[in-house]
């Protein structure tokens, strides 16, 4: 799966990896069953629109601009829009896996996922 401005879509492994550095990882403690559920959940998110407003919301969270972050989070959550890291996070949440405990759904950046994969 790949989040794109036109909406999340399935892509072949060859297309996803062409000319890119790719890091494959399975979150610690996940079972094969949870990973399968997460994969199906990601597929169910096909067509989920992309949102540049997510970047503003994530920046507001990082800068501790709570009122701004709260309003943007509500807008983004209501719109069903996702950036790539949020798509991964949502798919795992649907499989019962909280990738980054202690933070709100959607408050995950690509860097957060990279830190999980490369401790």
Among the listed residues 94, 90, 87, 83, the one whose alpha carbon sits nearest the alpha carbon of residue 105: 90
For residue 73, tell me if it sits in a domain: yes
Q: Could you give the angle at the alpha carbon of 35 between the alpha carbons of 97 and 118, nearest 5°?
A: 75
Residues 28-57, mean pLDDT to the nearest whole number: 86
In a domain, 87, yes or no: yes
Q: Domain total for the chain?
A: 1
Residue 83 lies in a domain: yes
Mean pLDDT value across residues 59-74: 65
Mean pLDDT computed over 78-86: 74
Q: Is residue 8 part of a domain?
A: no
Q: Which among 118, 116, 119 is positioned nearest to 27, based on CA atoms?
A: 116
Within a domain: 47? yes
Domain of 105, in residue numbers: 13-117
- Residue 1 within a domain: no
The 10s digit of each residue's pLDDT in 83-105 is 888 889 989 999 999 998 888 77
Per-residue confidence (pLDDT) for residue 113, from 0 to 100: 87
- The answer to whether residue 103 sits within a structural domain is yes
């Amino acid at each position: 799966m790949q989040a794109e401005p036109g909406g999340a879509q399935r892509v072949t492994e060859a297309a996803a990896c062409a000319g890119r550095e790719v890091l494959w990882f399975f979150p610690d403690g996940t079972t094969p069953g949870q990973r399968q559920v997460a994969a199906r959940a990601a597929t169910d998110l096909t067509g989920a629109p992309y949102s540049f407003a997510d970047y503003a919301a994530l920046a507001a969270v990082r800068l501790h601009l709570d009122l701004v972050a709260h309003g943007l989070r509500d807008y983004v959550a209501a719109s069903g829009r996702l950036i790539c890291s949020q798509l991964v996070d949502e798919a795992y949440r649907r499989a019962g896996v909280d990738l980054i405990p202690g933070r709100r759904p959607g408050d995950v950046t690509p860097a957060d996922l990279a830190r999980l994969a490369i401790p």
